[in-house]
Amino acid sequence: MRPFSLQAREDDRRAARETLFDAVVVGAGINGAGIARDLALRGLTVAVVDRGDAGGGTSSRSSRLIHGGLRYLQHGHLGLVAESTAHRWRLLHLASHLVTPLPFLFPSYRGDHTPRWMVRVGVALYGLLSLGRTPGPSRGLSPAGVLAAEPGLAREGLTGGVEYHDCATDDGRLTLETLRDAHAAGAIFFPRTEVTGGIREGGRLRGVAVRDLLDGAAWELRGRVVINASGPWTDAVHARLVPGGVPRWLRPTKGVHLVFPRERLPVSRAVTMIVPEDRRPVFAIPWGTAVYVGTTDTDVADPDAPLETTPADTDYLLRVTGRFFPGAGLGAGDVLSSWAGLRPLVWDEAAASASDVSREERIAEAAPGLVTVAGGKLTTFLLMARRTADLAARVLARDHGVNVPRSRAERLALLAVRPAGGLAAARTLAAARAAERGLPVDGAALAARRGFDALALLDLMAAEPALAEPCAPGLPWRAAELRFAVDHEYALTAEDLLVRRTHLFYRDPAHGAGVDLTGLSLTPPFQPVEL
């Protein structure tokens, strides 16, 4: 198989310049990756470009939840909840190494806008709409029950709570592994390749002009249909592809998460904190040795402006957390790290505030030869991908006479857990292999998050014992994972490795500064020079 790494780049570029692709996908976030996978699995020729790393946009900066959207019930969006819970269930099986059940506690206090009985009804309805396909049970709790579960929660005015289940994921890896699947099915991927314009013929888009941000080369990718999946940058990409031609699609908002050491906020499950002033949910989510709290939701005027966690963002999240966990005494000095992401929210003139903007998606033929998808969420990416791919298929049939088969992407597990026996088999085999090779590694635990890739990782460790070493004390990642990421997951820079292939940057107090990256042949990002 062609390598999914920089090694393939020259060959891929040469081949791509001579190919008329069925589809050229702009953006390798969860939407672009999902669409590429869906189309490649239907047997179409697909090229994907991203000006950064796979998942380097919003798709590695989310709340990392695969959820049914309990709060959509407040707005009566029952269909959306049914759809999301169905996809939560699907991903629990198709990406079982990346999607795991996560218990949530929703505490209620006197004077809450949504009283406890209503939360209980909501959670019951949530369970009903999922048709029993839930990651775990739900139950009502007395105040004493809430405090037994989470002793750090504020006691004053506590009226009880509800426990229910959604799922946690690793958003960046979900995106990357989806793209790796697309690649295995024949798609070609060009990271660090920016779309600078459109190729137009007879009033129709026929491809995109790109610039390679590693060596500065400008070249062209030709496609029967171009798919704009550039998330928060949808309008900017429209402007490049169809100058002056597409009315506004999005109103992006910023969401920030703060990471704390787990001992400073020792929650044992996710806690939903409803902010009385704006009635928004903020979550405290356990994350191994850490816990993260988020998110904020504020308008953003320019999605290309540097995306930062401001003191106001930190204050807001500390204030909320301090109210619910008064004994923790958290301050700005406790923040281990943070991330900020841009929500690609669909533009809606009528929405009053950022938090009221609908999260639903928009998929349309934005201009002749151009299909655009925006909005949605990680949870429903397979559905968005199928709908977008179906629209692209209709354009291909109408304009090019191409007969596109139906999607099978929603029935196939990701590569890492696709072999017979799935995750359970991967765990058993990896445990046996680690023991056989005498490696100081819990093979089953490695397989729990890497599926069958754990076997290749263990082989690397057996060949070079230094690769079995942990990258940082107390954290799960091993040196072999960095090597594997460069050779098989198209990691190019230290940031790719520390921020997305692993989460060392967020979780290690030294932010990965002590990790040995020598011998990994990383690429310093090319600095474009404006002539």
Ligand X SMILES: Cc1cc2nc3c(=O)[nH]c(=O)nc-3n(C[C@H](O)[C@H](O)[C@H](O)COP(=O)(O)OP(=O)(O)OC[C@H]3O[C@@H](n4cnc5c(N)ncnc54)[C@H](O)[C@@H]3O)c2cc1C
Q: Which residues bind ligand X (CB under 6 A)?
A: 26-32, 49-52, 56-59, 61-65, 67, 194-195, 229-233, 237, 255, 295, 341-344, 376-379
Q: What is the nearest approach in angstroms of ligand X to the Cβ of residue 469?
A: 31
Q: What is the nearest approach in angstroms of ligand X to the Cβ of residue 229?
A: 5
Q: What is the nearest approach in angstroms of ligand X to the Cβ of residue 189?
A: 12
Tokens found for residue 522: 């990383």
Tokens found for residue 246: 């597409």
Contact 526, 216 (CB under 8 A): yes
Comparison of 232 and 369: residue with beta carbon closer to ligand X: 232
Tokens found for residue 273: 């904190």
Q: What is the nearest approach in angstroms of ligand X to the Cβ of residue 489?
A: 15
Q: What is the nearest approach in angstroms of ligand X to the Cβ of residue 179?
A: 11
Comparison of 209 and 425: residue with beta carbon closer to ligand X: 209
Comparison of 13 and 478: residue with beta carbon closer to ligand X: 13
Tokens found for residue 146: 């809430």
Contact 372, 378 (CB under 8 A): no
Comparison of 6 and 454: residue with beta carbon closer to ligand X: 6
β-partners of residue 228 are 26, 372
Q: Which 3-state string (H, E, C) describes 79-115?
A: HHHHHHHHHHHHHHHHCCCCEEEEEEEEEEECCCCCC
Q: What is the nearest approach in angstroms of ligand X to the Cβ of residue 379?
A: 4
Q: What is the nearest approach in angstroms of ligand X to the Cβ of residue 518?
A: 28
Comparison of 92 and 460: residue with beta carbon closer to ligand X: 92
Comparison of 452 and 505: residue with beta carbon closer to ligand X: 505
Q: What is the nearest approach in angstroms of ligand X to the Cβ of residue 352?
A: 20
The whole-angstrom separation of Cα 422 and Cα 277 is: 46
SS3 241: helix
Phi then psi for 148, rounded to 5 degrees? -65, -35
Residue 386 half-sphere exposure toward CB, CA atoms < 13 A:
11
Comparison of 58 and 407: residue with beta carbon closer to ligand X: 58
DSSP annotation string for 490-509: ---SHHIIIIIIS-HHHHST
216 Rama sector, left if φ>0, alpha if ψ -120 to 50, beta otherwise: left
Tokens found for residue 196: 């600078």
Q: What is the nearest approach in angstroms of ligand X to the Cβ of residue 343?
A: 4
Tokens found for residue 118: 């209503």
Comparison of 61 and 433: residue with beta carbon closer to ligand X: 61
The three-point CA angle 256-298-507 to 5° equals 0
Contact 285, 250 (CB under 8 A): no
Comparison of 43 and 216: residue with beta carbon closer to ligand X: 216
